[in-house]
Amino acid sequence: MPDIRTILATDCGSTTTKAILIEKQGDEYRLVVRGEAPTTVESPFDDVTVGVMNAVREVEELAGRRILVADGGTRGQGDAGSAIQMPSKDGAGVDMYLSTSSAGGGLQMTVAGVVMSMSAESAERAALGAGAIIIDVLAVDDGRKEYEKVQRIRELRPDMILVSGGTDGGTVTHLVEIGEMLVSADPKPRLGIGVRLPVIYAGNKDAADAVRQVVGERVDLKVVDNLRPRIDRENLYPAREAIHELFLQHVMQQAPGYGKLSSWTSVGIMSTPNAVGKIIQTIADKERINVLAVDIGGATTDVFSVFAGNFTRTVSANLGMSYSICNVLAEAGIQNIRRWIPFEIDEWQLRNQLRNKMIRPTTIPQTLRDLYVEQAVSREALRLAFIHHKSLARELKGVMQTRTISDALSQGTTGKTLVHLMDLDMIVGSGGVLSHAPKRAQSALMMLDAYQPEGITMLAVDSIFMMPQLGILSEVMPEAALQVFDRDCLIKLGTAISPVGTGKEGRMAVTVTLDGGKHEIPFGTVKVIPLAGGEKKTVEIVPVGGFDVGAGKGRSRTVEVEGGVVGLIIDARGRPLNLPPDDETRIRKLKEWLSALGLDQAG
């Protein structure tokens, strides 16, 4: 590879296009500046490259460096040639240009399988891993009558359907039935009249011809390798790649200017959630840690996890902080939101407030009370998205495992979640409400409340949401991506020590000793010990009796912990975290915890 010294990377979101400039400084790559501009896929522009150039112009201004070609970079539609000068020369231009995108509203898919908890679930994982939003999962055994499934397919109008089912050599009839169901529904895609719906068949290879015969020319059928060729094996890659390919075509259809943009980039455009997944996997692999990352946006919440090398991504397409805020209300219930608010508020006033945010999504909290209402909603959105994620991030169901005597006696079943909070090393939060909380300690508290991490966990936020750009960079220059991620992207809030167990309010729960200083933390409290970012200390953690910090109940641990902008956080509120049921006590405790983290209390 030629010497790459300057890299430009953009992410074209639904609303905003963000551009970052990375430079090699000495031996390492560092972020220089970031710019942004509104995304321009809709009229009157109808060309995504306009927004890209606007964002790049901001980068040029801030960096004092020309990046666009010397004719001013005013490229209209139909103009040939890239607007980005490559390679760099005489202090202008860049050596590499990469881009990711989530514009076009995302890829909406329906998946269909034979058995809900096996092939349908594997198909769901394949689709999510490819960056799609799943609008329904159908299975032969999903409990719905055939006409209900047929009606559902008709109503949904997905962008594409993924069909799976049957191990190779297994059932054929059920796959043909799914084909018949598709023919019956005669589904039309969301976009375009007269366009055939793309259907990816990734089931039993022996049934492919029969399915093709049934569906004929009614759909645009593409056959790939079985995504569950054996009951104990998933092979998601071919299906994911087929989805990804179709996704790019879809994006090109829906986001004008993408063909032109692709001709400017050094490698193919990647979808934003795909890219975020890549950087998370890269971090987990390199550091050999278990990571949970979340991106909570206005409409959706993406959750990514890597546990023991297993990567899972879920999209809760119905949980977000503005457009979907009332879905959070509907799913969580008003009481679950209200419980996180550290002051009295009338239930109906709260409901109307959230509705008004839904219909005016670009407004922001001006008062502290308003901010705390939003942060209460975010806790519930994060919690619910996490529950959804845990249900999908699990071992393969239907797998016979070789058991030892103790396995057999413990009667464990397969299909258990892979997400074990005690083994979680790091949580990375991203999205406006987390990345741009006015005080970093608010982000820390939101993540502690929503996820209730156990044992020892580093809490961090993505400072300016550049994970997509670093994700695509990690495909071509993983070291550079990691350097920028570590030094410029990630803001470490600090290590949280969270003993598992419950106790009596006020009684000692855990003792933490560092630098010879002993800190005794009672149950029901949170304590912050100053420990700056980059500082590492060895601490001895001694939990009382029934509490466990990862070595067993009552057993101490001596570990090295890292600090952050908040510090070393001891969360002795118990796991699970139970809030007092009466309002007065609950509000008092919430205020206490805010104070412990140095946060203001709303009047």
Partner 1 sequence: MGTAYTPGLKVTPRTTVQKTRRLPLKGQVTVQLGDLVQPETVVARTELPGIMQTVRVAERLSIEASDVPPLLKVSVGDHVERGTVVAENKSFFGLLTNQVKSPVEGVVELFSPVSGHLGIRLTPSPVEVDAYIQGKVTEVIPEEGVVIQTSGALVQGIFGVGGERLGELKIIVGGPDEVVDEDRITEDLAGKVAVGGSNITGPALKKAAGFGVAGIVVGGIIDKDLIEYLGHDIGVAITGQEKIPTTLIVTEGFGVMRMAHRTYDLLKSLEGKRASINGATQIRAGVIRPEIIVPTAEEITTSAGPDEQSLDVGTRIRVIREPYFGILGEVTALPPEPVLVESGSKVRILEAELETGEKVSVPRANVEIIQE
Binding residues (CB under 8 A) for partner 1: these are: 14, 42, 105, 146-147, 150-151, 154, 172-173, 176-177, 180, 183-186, 188, 193-194, 210, 213-214, 298-299, 318, 323-324, 326-327, 329-331, 348, 351-353, 355-356, 358-371, 436, 438-439, 600
DSSP 422: G
If the CB atoms of residues 366 and 411 are measured against partner 1, the closer one turns out to be: 366
Cis before 44? omega within 30: yes
The CB-of-368 to partner 1 minimum distance in angstroms stands at 5
The CB-of-51 to partner 1 minimum distance in angstroms stands at 15
Bridge-based pairing of strands 426-430 and 291-296 is parallel
Instruction: Identify the H or E element spanning 526.
Output: strand 526-529
If the CB atoms of residues 186 and 560 are measured against partner 1, the closer one turns out to be: 186
**Closest to 555 (Cα-Cα) out of 545, 567, 564:** 545
d(CA 48, CA 38): 10
- Please list, in sequence order, all residues whose beta carbon lies within 8 angstroms of the beta carbon of residue 176, skipping any fewer than 6 positions away: 207, 210, 211, 214
AA letter at 279: I
If the CB atoms of residues 195 and 399 are measured against partner 1, the closer one turns out to be: 195
If the CB atoms of residues 359 and 532 are measured against partner 1, the closer one turns out to be: 359
The CB-of-55 to partner 1 minimum distance in angstroms stands at 17
If the CB atoms of residues 171 and 274 are measured against partner 1, the closer one turns out to be: 171
Token duo for residue 98: 């990469």
What angle, rounded to 10 degrees, do the helices at 237-254 and 121-129 form?
50
The CB-of-160 to partner 1 minimum distance in angstroms stands at 18
C-beta neighbour count of 152 within 10 angstroms? 17
If the CB atoms of residues 351 and 553 are measured against partner 1, the closer one turns out to be: 351
Sheet bearing 132-139, strands edge to edge: 132-139, 107-113, 160-163, 198-201, 220-223
d(CA 437, CA 455): 25
The CB-of-427 to partner 1 minimum distance in angstroms stands at 22
If the CB atoms of residues 213 and 414 are measured against partner 1, the closer one turns out to be: 213
The CB-of-421 to partner 1 minimum distance in angstroms stands at 29
In 364-473, beta strands by DSSP E: 426-430, 455-462
d(CA 594, CA 448): 12
If the CB atoms of residues 163 and 326 are measured against partner 1, the closer one turns out to be: 326
The CB-of-444 to partner 1 minimum distance in angstroms stands at 15
- When computed from its CA atoms, the radius of gyration of the chain, rounded to whole angstroms, is 25
The CB-of-184 to partner 1 minimum distance in angstroms stands at 4
**Closest to 368 (Cα-Cα) out of 589, 584, 601:** 601
If the CB atoms of residues 42 and 79 are measured against partner 1, the closer one turns out to be: 42
The strand pairing partners of 311, in sequence order, are 306
Q: Which residue has the tokens 């759909």?
A: 219
The CB-of-506 to partner 1 minimum distance in angstroms stands at 31
3-class SS of residue 269: coil
Cα of first residue to Cα of last residue in the chain, in angstroms, is 59
**Closest to 141 (Cα-Cα) out of 129, 149, 131, 133:** 149
The CB-of-254 to partner 1 minimum distance in angstroms stands at 10
If the CB atoms of residues 331 and 548 are measured against partner 1, the closer one turns out to be: 331
The CB-of-377 to partner 1 minimum distance in angstroms stands at 13
The strand pairing partners of 536, in sequence order, are 562
The strand pairing partners of 520, in sequence order, are 511
Phi-psi region of 90 (alpha: psi -120 to 50; beta: other; left: phi over 0): left
If the CB atoms of residues 439 and 519 are measured against partner 1, the closer one turns out to be: 439
CA 586 to chain centroid: 31
Cis before 453? omega within 30: no
If the CB atoms of residues 297 and 524 are measured against partner 1, the closer one turns out to be: 297
Dihedral sign computed on CA atoms, order 169, 173, 179, 182: negative
The CB-of-366 to partner 1 minimum distance in angstroms stands at 5
